[in-house]
Amino acid sequence: MNKKESFITLAAAALLVAVGAGAWWLGMQQGMGHTTLAPQSVVATTASDDPSLWTIPQGEEATRRHIRDSLKAGDVDPATGRRILNYHDPMVPGKNFEAPAKSPFMDMMLVPRYAGSDAADASSVTVSPRIQQNLGLRTAPVVEGSLVSEVTAVGNVAWNEREQVVLSSRAMGFVEKLHVKAALDRVAAGAPLAELYVPDWVAAQEEYLALARMSGEGTDALKDAARQRMRQAGMAPAHIQRVVASGAVQPRFTLTAPIAGIVSELMVREGATVMPGMTLMRLQGTRTVWAEGAVPQSQAALLQPGARVRTTSPGAPGQTFEGQVQALLPEVDAVTRTIRARVELANPQGRLVPGMLVSMRLDRPKAAATLLVPSDAVIHTGRRSVVMVAEEGGRFRPVEVTAGLEVGDQTEISAGLAVGQRVVLSGQFLIDSEASLRGLEARLNHEPASTLSQQRYATDAVIDALSGDTVTLTHPPIAALKWPQMQMDFKLPPRAQQPPDLEAGDRLQIEFEMQQGDVPRITRLQRVAPGIRK
């Protein structure tokens, strides 16, 4: 290769390098242009070629530009065409400033806050219709109504003890015949149960019959006295009437069933001798039964005696038994934390028997009308419940609400909303995240200083400067607050709680708490070791 060819080769290589460097520089400029342009609000997560959806970012670069162009609160930013409301530190959102500057709280610049397109407040997030469509935002109205809820429980059937009848002997006698032979025999109302012979009744009956055959003045009083002695002997009114009607001694009587049911207990046999007051048998009515179900104590508070109950049982497939809550038993299971609900169920065919398993659906009494929203619209943060309210002009505002009972896909709202407002059902988490980044959550909380001061943080620090009751410190990253290493101001504790002769360069261990609209306040201060004096 001669010198001329070498020169041409080197020139071509230099040209290629120059072109490559120019392309690299242009790409960097375009890349920087794209990094300095970001979609406003949640638009940053959605690609779009619509210029109306993009604005100059509202961060530190904008503040530096405002300082350079001598802009302040009230002026219109020529880069965005929007009026500047004020400047604030995102980490201390309660304090606003009229002019762009460095934050007095942190080692960072203040950031501007702009008015909306109609000079609306800064407590909302604006999303264009096109982005709403891309995100699939759906809204629903706040309506007024009442929730009809029910509590489910599983229980066991038991006899209704209020339908139990105990049959006892009225006098000493003998069981001559039994019409029921075993426990759990079914009997009808008025059916004969046993025949007894009572010798003690013979003398009282003969006395009355002797007086009944007498006539003359004063015999009526004697007859009344004789009837009274028969009653005292234990004779039933119906048995006394038979003696009067027949005019003959009736030492035997038949014990009949006062109700329909079953013989739950049989204590005597034929030929047995019974004494006054002795229990002969027990009858259990089957017209209604009890079902006792274990209800969680949180749901038991929603029930009241008289609430309607629908019950099904595997032992009676295809049949539903109606009833009502008779009582909530005043006892809580210490292990399961449940309360037993006693339900009285109609049992016309006697299909339900003790020990049978039933599934109960207990209706909650109809509550008063309240505001209702779809449950998907409520964001539960653990400390509060928030919904995103859709307003005119594509604005969305976070609103703290008081959520009540949730049934199905509806949730009661007792405070925070009004009928007719619209709440976001889908995509609200994206809007809520953007709102939190812009400091809306801090304005939403409105927590007093006493509440903020309950949380304290500890860190090491080095004194950079002292000025009155304020100290400038450099501290390492604080993970609990997501703070990086930075230099910032703190409020000193009272002088009596400070180590003597604090100077720049001292190394400290501090405990501090946040303050609403002011720098953090040191609550405890301790010098670790003498630092390097400046």
**How far apart, in whole angstroms, are the C-alpha atoms of residue 209 and residue 433?**
101
Pull the structure tokens for residue 141: 């109205």
Check: CB of residue 135 under 8 Å from CB of residue 332. Answer: no
Read off the pLDDT band of 344 (50, 70, 90).
very high
**How far apart, in whole angstroms, are the C-alpha atoms of residue 459 and residue 440?**
28
Q: In the predicted model, is pLDDT for residue 143 greater than 50? A: yes
Q: In the predicted model, is pLDDT for residue 414 greater than 70? A: yes
If we measure between CA atoms, which residue out of 290, 422, 287 comes closest to residue 344? 290
CA 19 to chain centre: 67
Least confident piece of the model among 81-85, 296-300, 309-313, 412-416: 296-300
Alpha carbon separation from 208 to 87, 171, 175, 491 (Å, rounded):
113, 18, 25, 109
Least confident piece of the model among 82-91, 175-184, 289-298, 363-372: 363-372
CA-based torsion, 82, 88, 89, 92: positive or negative: negative
Quickly count: other Cβ atoms within 10 Å of residue 532's Cβ. 9
**How far apart, in whole angstroms, are the C-alpha atoms of residue 174 and residue 399?**
83
Q: What pLDDT score does 428 carry?
A: 58
**How far apart, in whole angstroms, are the C-alpha atoms of residue 142 and residue 399?**
13
Q: In the predicted model, is pLDDT for residue 451 greater than 70? A: no
Bridge pairing between strands 395-407 and 125-126: antiparallel
Strand ranges in 246-394 using DSSP code E only, listed in sequence order: 252-256, 261-266, 273-274, 279-285, 288-296, 308-312, 321-332, 338-346, 357-363, 370-374, 379-380, 385-390
Q: In the predicted model, is pLDDT for residue 225 greater than 80? A: yes
3-state helix, strand, coil in the chain (%, to 5): 25, 40, 35
Pull the structure tokens for residue 317: 């497939």
Least confident piece of the model among 144-148, 330-334, 439-443: 439-443
> In the predicted model, what is the mean pLDDT of residues 130-137?
70
> In the predicted model, what is the mean pLDDT of residues 7-24?
41
Read off the pLDDT band of 104 (50, 70, 90).
confident
Q: What pLDDT score does 354 carry?
A: 92
Read off the pLDDT band of 39 (50, 70, 90).
very low
Q: In the predicted model, is pLDDT for residue 12 greater than 80? A: no
Does 198 or 24 have the greater pLDDT score? 198
Helix (H, G, I), strand (E, B) or coil at 4: helix
If we measure between CA atoms, which residue out of 201, 192, 267 comes closest to residue 234? 201
> In the predicted model, what is the mean pLDDT of residues 6-12?
42
Q: What pLDDT score does 299 carry?
A: 73
Q: What pLDDT score does 53 carry?
A: 34
**How far apart, in whole angstroms, are the C-alpha atoms of residue 139 and residue 376?**
10
Q: What pLDDT score does 508 carry?
A: 92
The owner of tokens 């891309």 is 134
Q: What pLDDT score does 7 carry?
A: 39
Check: CB of residue 34 under 8 Å from CB of residue 21. Answer: no
Q: Which residues of 90-123 are buried (b: 16+ CB within 10 A; e: fewer)?
A: bbbbbbbbeebeebebbebbbbbbbbbeeeeebe
Check: CB of residue 153 under 8 Å from CB of residue 340. Answer: no
Helices (H) and strands (E) in the chain, counts: 10, 34
Does 82 or 189 have the greater pLDDT score? 189
pLDDT digits (tens, 9 = 90+) for 259-284: 999 999 999 999 999 999 999 999 99
Quickly count: other Cβ atoms within 10 Å of residue 21's Cβ. 10
Dihedrals phi, psi of 47, to nearest 5 degrees: -75, 140
Least confident piece of the model among 162-171, 388-397, 488-497: 388-397
Quickly count: other Cβ atoms within 10 Å of residue 394's Cβ. 19
Q: What pLDDT score does 15 carry?
A: 39
Q: Please state, rounded to an integer, the average pLDDT across all residues of the chain.
A: 78
Enter the pTM of the model: 0.46
Read off the pLDDT band of 130 (50, 70, 90).
low
Cβ neighbours for 205, distance < 8 A, ≥ 6 positions apart? 230, 243, 249, 250, 251
Least confident piece of the model among 93-107, 247-261, 320-334: 93-107
Q: In the predicted model, is pLDDT for residue 518 greater than 80? A: no
**How far apart, in whole angstroms, are the C-alpha atoms of residue 326 and residue 160?**
11
If we measure between CA atoms, which residue out of 134, 116, 112, 133 comes closest to residue 125? 116
Check: CB of residue 368 under 8 Å from CB of residue 145. Answer: no
CA-based torsion, 187, 191, 195, 198: positive or negative: positive
Task: Give the DSSP H/E element, type plus range, for residue 513.
Answer: strand 507-515
Does 367 or 177 have the greater pLDDT score? 177
